[in-house]
């Protein structure tokens, strides 16, 4: 890799990535607004409500994320056909993607709505967290349909290089979500005060509005005439199977990620309440002022602290995913145009940009972590508990970004099976056992859990860099 960025390639990556960054940041605001506003509810409702949202969103993402993996196959095929200059076949990819998305998401929405309470009874010993979280999660599950169908449209438009389409939809629905959150969580202007349930209802309504925007955009004549995706004769078993074949490994990888993440949160929610090896934390730079807070933290405070951290880290993840989405499109289009070396250059260029940007963010996290924490919570005990872990994670944000970008680059090339296997192994052999051993067995508490997460980030970036450099993905046919 060159040390400095290649300006022509960087401009092309940026032209696709910036709208995706804006769209995904606004999309993430749906969850962040829930967390931040619920965290400001008084007393136990605020802390337990945050903990409930923290446990419910991974379940929502596991269900919706598995199905939303249809975007991987749809985008890869659409971009490959665009590179081959075959617009009708690109449109056929959307036709079959929508058919799969609607059928599968309706079934999962209904199933998730009824099973959410049983899940929460297993995940938390706190009855208030169970009550608030299961109700929130059941309502959010209604939005699995909109999530998956929207991703089907998004992946098509991303694949043809029109990444601004989802950006517009995301901005509109998140402004709506912000307003509805204020009205329904706190009961302003005569609206009922629904608190945690209000956050869920606001999110679901806004996602339906976002889907409506995507549908209306797809009806513009310039797209219908060129791609002709709304034709029954476009439904083709072979195309549907190719989408499923490419998407299922990505969906399973999402399930592995969310399962590992749920276990990670379970460990945090069940950490011992008293100090065990307090002296073991003395080696952590800058951790001295908050050592006692780390080990004495109640499990629900630790969960709230972790979810506030994750709420900020989502900004890191989303930015990296946006560069990855742009890279996936450019890699697939380049392969379709028979330019594999250009595809590789796009991959490494995006990694350099992501590491530079996220490395700077990580530096600020190390120097002043409380600044970010105060965005999502005003409770000092939660902030104090999170500070050492925030500094630790700040040291690996650049590597997190590199790993996530390369995952998407391999998805764009059609190498979804490798990513699935790698994620399964890294969660089962790294994140899950390490978080338990460091957090509970060795008594390092919340910091130990996040040490396991940092180790996972290093492993992810290393394995994905090795696979991308190997280059066998250049030979994959779609």
Quick one: which of 98, 367, 427 has its CA closest to 230? 98
Within-domain flag for 382: yes
**Mean of per-residue pLDDT scores for the chain:** 80
Q: Between these two residues, 186 and 232, which has the higher pLDDT value?
A: 232
Q: Between these two residues, 185 and 324, which has the higher pLDDT value?
A: 324
- Look at the chain and report how many structural domains it folds into: 1
Do the beta carbons of residue 449 and residue 430 sit within 8 Å? no
Indicate if the pLDDT at residue 275 is higher than 50.
Answer: no
Within-domain flag for 319: yes
Measure the CA–CA gap between 300 and 297, rounded to whole angstroms.
8
Query: What per-residue confidence (pLDDT) applies to 288?
Result: 41
Query: What per-residue confidence (pLDDT) applies to 292?
Result: 38
Instruction: Give me 434's structure tokens.
Output: 């390490």
Within-domain flag for 1: no
Indicate if the pLDDT at residue 447 is higher than 50.
Answer: yes
Query: What per-residue confidence (pLDDT) applies to 201?
Result: 86
User: Averaged over 294-307, what is the pLDDT?
Assistant: 60
Within-domain flag for 155: yes
Do the beta carbons of residue 280 and residue 443 sit within 8 Å? yes
Written as one string, the DSSP assignment of 370-439 is HHHHHHH---HHHHHHHHHHHHHHHTTHHHHHHHHHHHHHHHHHT-HHHHHHHHHHHIIIIIHHHHHIII
Q: Between these two residues, 280 and 89, which has the higher pLDDT value?
A: 89
At 329-340, the pLDDT tens digits run 888 888 888 888
Query: What per-residue confidence (pLDDT) applies to 33?
Result: 65
Within-domain flag for 2: no
Do the beta carbons of residue 45 and residue 197 sit within 8 Å? no
Q: Which residue has the tokens 């446990």?
A: 55
Would you place residue 153 in the very low, low, confident or very high pLDDT band (cuts 50, 70, 90)? very high
Which structural domain, as residue segments, surrounds residue 268?
Answer: 7-475
Query: What per-residue confidence (pLDDT) applies to 215?
Result: 94
* Of the listed ranges 121-135, 312-326, 352-366, 443-457, the one predicted with least confidence: 121-135
Query: What per-residue confidence (pLDDT) applies to 284?
Result: 43
Quick one: which of 135, 117, 114, 120 has its CA closest to 196? 135
At 59-109, the pLDDT tens digits run 777 677 778 888 888 988 998 898 888 989 999 999 999 999 998 888 888
What is the reported pTM?
0.74
Within-domain flag for 432: yes
Within-domain flag for 154: yes
Q: Is 5 exposed, middle or buried (0-12, 13-18, 19+ CB in 10 A)?
A: middle
Query: What per-residue confidence (pLDDT) applies to 261?
Result: 77
Would you place residue 31 in the very low, low, confident or very high pLDDT band (cuts 50, 70, 90)? low
């Amino acid at each position: 890799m060159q040390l400095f960025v290649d300006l022509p390639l960087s401009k092309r990556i940026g032209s696709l990535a910036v709208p995706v960054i804006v769209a995904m940041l606004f999309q993430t605001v749906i969850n962040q607004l829930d967390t931040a506003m619920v965290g400001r509810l008084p007393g136990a409702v605020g802390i337990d409500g945050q903990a409930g949202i923290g446990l419910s969103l991974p379940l929502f993402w596991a269900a919706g994320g598995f199905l939303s993996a249809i975007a991987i196959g749809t985008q890869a095929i659409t971009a490959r056909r665009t590179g081959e200059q075959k617009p009708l076949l690109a449109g056929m990819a959307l036709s079959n993607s929508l058919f799969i998305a609607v059928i599968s998401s309706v079934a999962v929405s209904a199933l998730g709505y009824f099973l959410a309470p049983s899940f929460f009874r297993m995940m938390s010993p706190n009855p208030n967290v169970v009550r608030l979280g299961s109700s929130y999660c059941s309502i959010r599950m209604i939005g699995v349909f909109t999530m998956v169908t929207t991703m089907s449209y998004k992946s098509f438009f991303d694949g043809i290089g029109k990444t601004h389409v989802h950006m517009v939809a995301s901005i509109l629905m998140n402004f709506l979500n912000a307003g509805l959150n204020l009205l329904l969580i706190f009961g302003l202007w005569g609206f009922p005060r629904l608190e945690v349930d209000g956050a869920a209802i606001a999110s679901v309504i806004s996602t339906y509005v976002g889907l409506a925007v995507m549908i209306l955009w797809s009806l513009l004549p310039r797209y219908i005439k060129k791609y002709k995706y709304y034709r029954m004769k476009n439904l083709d078993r072979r195309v549907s199977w190719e989408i499923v074949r490419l998407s299922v490994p990505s969906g399973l990888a999402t399930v592995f990620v969310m399962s590992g993440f749920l276990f990670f949160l379970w460990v945090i929610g069940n950490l011992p309440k008293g100090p065990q090896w307090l002296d073991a934390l003395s080696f952590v730079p800058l951790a001295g002022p908050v050592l006692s807070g780390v080990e004495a933290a109640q499990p629900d405070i630790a969960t709230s602290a972790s979810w506030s951290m994750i709420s900020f880290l989502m900004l890191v993840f989303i930015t990296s995913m946006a560069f990855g989405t742009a890279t996936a499109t450019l890699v697939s289009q380049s392969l379709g145009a028979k330019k594999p070396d250009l595809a590789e250059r796009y991959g490494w260029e995006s990694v350099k940009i992501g590491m530079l940007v996220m490395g700077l963010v990580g530096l600020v996290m190390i120097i002043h972590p409380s600044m970010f924490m105060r965005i999502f919570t005003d409770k000092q005990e939660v902030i104090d508990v999170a500070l050492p872990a925030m500094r630790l994670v700040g040291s690996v944000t650049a590597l997190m970004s590199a790993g996530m970008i390369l995952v998407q680059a391999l998805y764009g090339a059609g190498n979804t099976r490798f990513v699935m296997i790698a994620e399964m192994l890294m969660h089962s052999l790294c994140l899950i056992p390490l978080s338990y051993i460091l957090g509970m067995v060795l008594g390092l508490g919340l910091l130990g859990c996040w040490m396991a997460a940092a180790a996972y980030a290093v492993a992810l970036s290393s394995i994905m860099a090795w696979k991308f450099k190997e280059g066998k993905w250049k030979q994959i046919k779609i």
